[in-house]
Amino acid sequence: MQLLDGNKTSKQIKEEIKTDVAKHVADGYRPPHLAAVLVGSNPASQSYVNYKIKDCSMVGFKSTLHELADDVSEKDLLILIDELNRQEDLDGYIVQLPLPKHINEDKIIQAIDPIKDADGFHPTNLGRMVLDLPTYLPATPYGIMEMLERYHIDTNGKNVVVLGRSNIVGRPMSILLSQKGNPGNATVTLCHSRTENIKEFTLNADIIIAALGVANFLTADMVSDGAVIVDVGINRVEDNTSKSGFKLIGDVDFDNVKEKASYITPVPGGVGPMTRAMLLKNTLHAYKRNYLNKED
């Protein structure tokens, strides 16, 4: 068994981005600029955004954080988004999800200018992804594809099972892995909460992407020997031995599944760091296309 180490791989990617940015700044151009909009005081969201700000500093990006109260109106949030869309020195930005229940997330995502959509969630970018056109990919699936490529995981003709059908991970993942390319060219089955006899599908899988949001859902008896396991889940469970009172575990029963897997991602330290690295990469793409006026 070999770990698919997201911490190590994302560090390599950030070093590459840092080198690229330094060259452009040395040539007299401004650095890339990524902004984040944080609504409310969700501890997990706050922590995640803080990591993103540190990532920006590490690679030489300018970063801006817009913090709004839990009770901010949808109208006021849309006003801020319009301002960010029109800000000339801003290459990309994200609106941290989830949002408070009184705000329509779909409406907010659709208000983001597609050319500044660092998360890759806008319908225009998702549509371009489906058509295999240049675009900003959803950050988590993008990170998984990058990890599979850098670890030389062969997906050509392989049976892949994706567990979960969210617009953020499951559906984009199934599309990317079925497209022509490397990684890609896989035969993909998308399973979800209504799929009957999921075990029959997973036992036939060469690669499993677990993104259901259910702690320890994928157990060892559901996995064939030598399968590649990518765990997207991040679940908080009580842990009396921890200072925080909880620990993070994935959708995969890691301790038991690792005995059968050829490759497996840990939680934490697997997909999460790759997602953050891809936000930087999407922003760098936007910077080059829309400020430097050149393709990568």
For the cut 70, the answer to whether the pLDDT of residue 203 exceeds it is: yes
Residue 166, annotated ligand binder? yes
Average pLDDT over residues 237-261: 87
Q: Where in the chain is the domain with CATH 3.40.50.720?
A: 139-272
Active site positions, annotated? 52, 96, 119
- Band the pLDDT of 130: cuts 50, 70, 90: very high
- In this predicted structure, what is the pLDDT of residue 121? 95
Q: Is the pLDDT of residue 243 over 80?
A: no
pLDDT at 237: 80
The answer to whether 170 is a known ligand-binding residue is no
- Domain spanning 27-114 has what CATH number? 3.40.50.10860
Side-chain half-sphere CA neighbours of 12 within 13 A: 9
> Residue 203 class from Cβ within 10 Å (0-12 exposed, 13-18 middle, 19+ buried)?
middle
Distance, CA of 123 to CA of 173 (rounded, Å): 15
pLDDT of 219-236, one tens digit each? Answer: 999 999 999 999 999 888
Q: Which tens digits make up the pLDDT trace of 34-49?
A: 999 999 988 888 888 9
Query: Mean of the pLDDT values across residues 92-101?
Result: 95
Residues of the chain with CATH 3.40.50.10860: 27-114
Q: Residue 43: its pLDDT value, please?
A: 84
DSSP string, the chain: -EE--HHHHHHHHHHHHHHHHHHHHHTTPPPPEEEEEEES--HHHHHHHHHHHHHHHHHT-EEEEEEE-TT--HHHHHHHHHHHHH-TT--EEEE-SPPPTTS-HHHHHHHS-GGGBTT--SHHHHHHHHTT-S----HHHHHHHHHHHHTT---TT-EEEEE---TTTHHHHHHHHHSSSSS---EEEEE-TT-S-HHHHHHT-SEEEE-S--TT-B-GGGS-TT-EEEE---EEEE-TTSTTSEEEE-SB-HHHHTTT-SEE--SSSSHHHHHHHHHHHHHHHHIIIIIS----
pLDDT at 271: 97
Mean pLDDT, to the nearest integer, of 147-175? 97
The pLDDT of residue 235 is: 86
Query: Would the annotation count 269 as a binding residue?
Result: no
- Has 234 been labeled as part of a binding site? yes
CA distance 164 to 193: 7
pLDDT at 285: 97
Amino acid (one-letter) located at 87: Q
Residues 6+ apart with CB under 8 A from 259: 1, 220
CATH among 3.40.50.300, 3.30.479.10, 3.40.50.720, 1.10.1760.20 for 139-272:
3.40.50.720
**Burial class for 42, CB neighbours closer than 10 Å (0-12, 13-18, 19+):** middle
What is the CB neighbour count within 10 angstroms for residue 229?
27
Q: Mean pLDDT for the chain?
A: 95
Tell me the mean pLDDT in the region 245-268: 94
**Confidence (pTM):** 0.94
Interacting residues of 27 by C-beta distance below 8 A, sequence separation 6+: none
Q: How far apart are CA 186 and CA 170, in angstroms?
A: 15
- The pLDDT-based confidence of 296 (bands split at 50, 70, 90) is low
- pLDDT attached to residue 47: 87
Q: What is the pLDDT of residue 241?
A: 75
